[in-house]
Amino acid sequence: MDEVARSEFVAFVHARTPVLFRVAYALAGHQQAAEDLLQAGLEKVALRWRRIDDPEAYLKRVIYHEFINGLRRRKLKEIAPKIQVIMLTVY
């Protein structure tokens, strides 16, 4: 990221973090999870900063997808032992 893009990104982060944190908090329900979602989203946006037309909309989408992926991972952890038991009893 060149210096101009970096300064644009930093300005965006400073200006939009409160709103974006509220979006993440509305999904996650508690502060730590919301901070993690926002951080993960900002990392992805930083990598693609020059190619994104609407960074706020893109970041909101990334936050949402990170949240959904987290739900899937937790759900998989819950059901994986059950599937393993079923597979062992079938075979």
Q: What is the pLDDT of residue 79?
A: 62
Q: Report residue 31 as tokens.
A: 């502060």
Q: What is the pLDDT of residue 88?
A: 53
The count of other CB atoms within 10 Å of the CB of residue 28 is: 19
Mean pLDDT for the stretch of residues 53-82: 84
CA atoms within 13 A on the CB side of 33: 15
Q: What is the pTM of this model?
A: 0.79
Q: What is the pLDDT of residue 19?
A: 95
More confident site: 1 or 87: 1
Radius of gyration of the chain (CA): 18
Say which range, 16-20, 38-42, 57-61, 70-74, has the weakest mean pLDDT. 70-74
- Identify the three-state secondary structure at position 72: helix
